[in-house]
Chains A and B, each alone.
Chain A
């Protein structure tokens, strides 16, 4: 089964950059910026989801709880303002990242998850 990373992000340029980055490194991804669409999506082929919180309202928390319930591993991406703040990771999240992301760290993190998923 081809493992996919689901990218959820409201900023289309961010989405495009993330997708291009993963593609360049041989990782398939599916992109989504609409929360409603994400909530109804078939999550069977998703091995990991990266969710960028920026730009979404509180309904993004509902999506996180759906992923938690459906046992979809997810990593939450916070805006740069979250740096140096004590952030409690949302329930079920595998971790948090703060923008801007370090491409090398991101890649090794994703690869680790995908390998664990085999």
Chain B
């Protein structure tokens, strides 16, 4: 236990912030359309509305459902940006902290992977439920890093200890995800697809004029 461990944690956090800022820069450089911006804003607001009433219970997070749906319907970039911005805006409501960075990474990757496997996830409801269930655990494991910081040594036993302590919450999160993805996938897919086909992917010449500037 020395400066090496503490220093590498600090460096790791700085790298995480740097990666997030780099993705933001890429997003800025891509000159997104106004429709796209408003769409992401409303999706972030919806997922926060889903998680604000249950913010006190660590396991139940309806935000994950909306983020996975976003990834599946709108693709990986929108899924990633929505996932990254949700904890940031949630933090402005409930208070920011160093854990916000880990939540951003966790939810961002959730949206990104949902976008990558969108074809398979859209077809098969079993794969979808399994995906949501697995991400309940992955998200828990990523946010658990905020606990590992304060343990004296990062060994297999310490990692296992923290992860066993958080397992019930992760299980709850995963089960919530899976149930929501089975029951309400069709309903929300219909709503999201309508918007996507009508406004985002529409061959509207006028809409693209902003891109050229």
Instruction: Specify whether A and B are partners.
Output: no
